[in-house]
Amino acid sequence: MPSITVSCPGKVNLFLDVIGKRDDGYHLIESLFLPIKDIADSLKISEANAPGITISCNHPAVPLDSKNLIHKAAQAFAEKTLITPKWKIDLVKNIPVAGGMGGGSSNAASTFMALNELYDQPLNKTEMQELAIKIGADLPFFFEKSPAIVKGIGEKIASCRVEEKLFMLFVPFQFPVAAFWAYKNRQDGFSHSSITCEEYLSLLNNEKFPQTYNDLAKPLIEKFPLLKQACDKLLKLGAYSSNVSGSGPTCFALFKDQESLKQAHNKLKRQSIMATF
Residues 13-28 have pLDDT tens digits of 999 999 999 999 999 9
Asked if residue 145 and residue 240 are part of one domain, the reply reads no
pLDDT score for 199: 98
- pLDDT higher than 90, residue 203: yes
Q: What is the mean pLDDT of residues 31-44?
A: 98
Where residue 53 falls among pLDDT bands split at 50, 70, 90?
very high
Instruction: Indicate whether 76 and 140 sit together in one domain.
Output: yes
Q: What is the pLDDT of residues 145-189, one digit of tens each?
A: 899 999 999 999 999 999 999 999 999 999 999 999 999 999 999
Q: Which helix (H) or strand (E) holds 156?
A: strand 156-159
Kindly report the CATH number assigned to the domain that includes residue 213: 3.30.70.890
* One domain for residues 65 and 136: yes
Q: How many domains does one find in the chain?
A: 2
Instruction: Point out the domain boundary residue: 130, 159, 188.
Output: 159
Q: Are residues 13 and 120 in the same domain?
A: yes
pLDDT at 145: 87
Average pLDDT, the chain: 97
CA distances from residue 240 to 102, 211, 254, 260 in whole angstroms, order as listed: 24, 7, 6, 10
pTM summary value = 0.95
Amino acid at 274: M
Same domain for 133 and 171: no
Last residue of a domain, one of 159, 191, 224: 159
Q: Percentage of residues in the chain with pLDDT exceeding 90? A: 99
Same domain, 12 and 134: yes
Q: Which residues constitute the domain of residue 179?
A: 167-276
Active site residues: 11, 138
3-state secondary structure of 218: helix
Largest CA distance in the chain: 57
Is 69 a residue whose pLDDT tops 80? Answer: yes
Mark whether 181 and 151 lie in a shared domain.
no
pLDDT band at 1 (very low <50, low <70, confident <90, very high): low
Q: Are 82 and 116 contained in the same domain? A: yes
Are residues 21 and 89 part of one domain? yes
Looking at the structure, do residues 70 and 195 belong to the same domain, yes or no? no
Helices (H) and strands (E) in the chain, counts: 8, 11
